[in-house]
Amino acid sequence: MKIFTAQQMKVVDRETANQQCISSFQLMERAGGALLSALSRRFVLSKQRFVIFCGKGNNGGDGLVLAQYLRQQQARVTVYLLESDSYSKDNIEAQKRNPASLIQKFLLDGKLDIPADAVILDCLFGCGLKGVLDVTWNAVVQVINSSGCRVIAVDIPSGLLSDSPTPKDAAVVYADEVLTFHSPKLALLMPDNQAFFASFEVLDINLSKDATDATDSPYLFVTKEDVKTFYKKRKKFDHKGVFGHALIIGGSHGKMGAVQLAAKAALRSGCGLLSTYVPECGYPIIQIAVPEAMVITDVQTDLISSLPAVMNYQAVGIGVGMGTDEKTKGAFREFLLASQHTSLVLDADALNILAEEPDLLSKTPRYSILTPHPKELKRIIGEWDNDWHKIEKAKLLAVEYELCILIKGANSVVILPNGMVYFNSTGNVGMATGGSGDVLTGILTALVGQGYTAADALIMGVYLHGRAADIAVQKFGTYSLLPSDIIVSLPQAFLELEKEA
């Protein structure tokens, strides 16, 4: 799913109206209908009171159309419309569809009455807001934010800039939820903005597919529909040799659990054969905990001091629980030089060594996958000013060294060597615990070993990792979710793709 800028959305809206032979107001009515359906899934409309704040533009028009539809469902509705002498054409048309007595025009002095039992619908500004709201808006925004009511923002919380960072001291409506049209707005995917809303839902308003396809964007939002396009179904006469021999390298004294998690996840993700390379102390642990995996050991008891040749493996995941002992660093350096034609998945201590020795980036095989969490990423690319800056810095790294980079977090960001940026749609805060990344390393290594390109493996693996966690969290909740619970739920995540691919 492509993510468009505000200007691109305006163009796609206009082209949709032209190609589907409808007016812009009819498209506004379509948006209002989508909003009504979303609200009807959340409330018994006839028993609910709504207060709709409408601006002078088309976002306000959406709110006015919604007011009409809500009244038809016997909902109790109050509309506050900004006093203006320059309403948009469709806004004026939407005003006519409501009785004049319903609409109360307001000034920016903040003197507004909001019933305590109301749901506030924020339709003041949409994604087309061009600049930060000035201080004259502070009073109105404060009234909404301090109301104690549930707040639902339409398209984007008013005051939040869609395509660039919003200053920390800007006036922004705080929403419990955002109902946005067609695709997420970039601002809704940035951790910097998490204070302004709790969740969002994308509403389909049937925009023109031709117009959408013709509009280029470097940003995409990954959904099941996207992953289904490259999911590989298995054939009757396939055998384990078809699905690749994967190798997981890692572990050190006290950190063998990381290898267990990665190995179990790799096996649950369909690799034909799995080997692990661990310090000697890990031999009995892995043999007992993961009987399906083969075990190769280092000559050292507690750490990795040398690494095996990798020409017999289709994919290698390295770094989980590995440590950064000087002997391990030396082995890793030699390993990179000897692995120029092997697909690598680099995580944890492999990334920490790269950060300490940045010259190794140029020796990392092209199209390798790097999976840093924010602290690991900061060690590699340095500080950033905001989320946009972070992504741009990571993109420069990915393009320069031809790497696939994952920025872990809510809506994890996949950056490819061609500069394309993919935001993931699955996952939850229960994954924020040690070991979740080890599970992902196993998934990615298995997928690469089965012949998926590094890009497809990373996009699909991150989606499945998050989806398995979403399945598991329904049983365990975000506080009690364990990485091993994600592994247990991987089969169901794969089955969902299998049934629809």
Residue ranges for the known binding site for K(+) are 59, 122, 158
CA–CA gap between residue 250 and residue 376 (Å, rounded): 17
Long-range contacts of 458-462 (CB under 8 A, 24+ apart): 458/369, 458/404, 458/406, 458/414, 459/222, 459/226, 459/227, 459/414, 459/422, 460/227, 460/230, 460/231, 461/269, 462/222, 462/406, 462/412, 462/414, 462/424, 462/426
Q: Which amino acid is at 149?
A: C
Distance CA 216, CA 229 (A): 19
Cα separation, 110 vs 113, whole angstroms = 9
**CB 134 within 8 Å of CB 162:** no
Annotated binding site: 58-62, 122, 126-132, 155, 158, 258, 321, 373, 408-412, 437-438
| The dihedral formed by the CA atoms of 263, 267, 269 and 274, expressed in degrees to the nearest 10 | 80
Element housing 121 (H / E): strand 119-123
Annotated binding site for AMP: 408-412, 437
According to DSSP, residue 197 is labeled B
Q: How far is CA 15 from CA 31, 207, 212, in A?
A: 16, 9, 9
Q: Give one word for 309, left, alpha or beta, with left for phi > 0 and alpha for psi -120 to 50.
A: beta
Q: Which residues are annotated as a binding site for (6S)-NADPHX?
A: 58-62, 126-132, 155, 258, 321, 373, 438
- Alpha-carbon span 408 to 188, nearest angstrom: 16
- In 3D, which of 462, 489, 486, 487 has the Cα closest to residue 222? 462
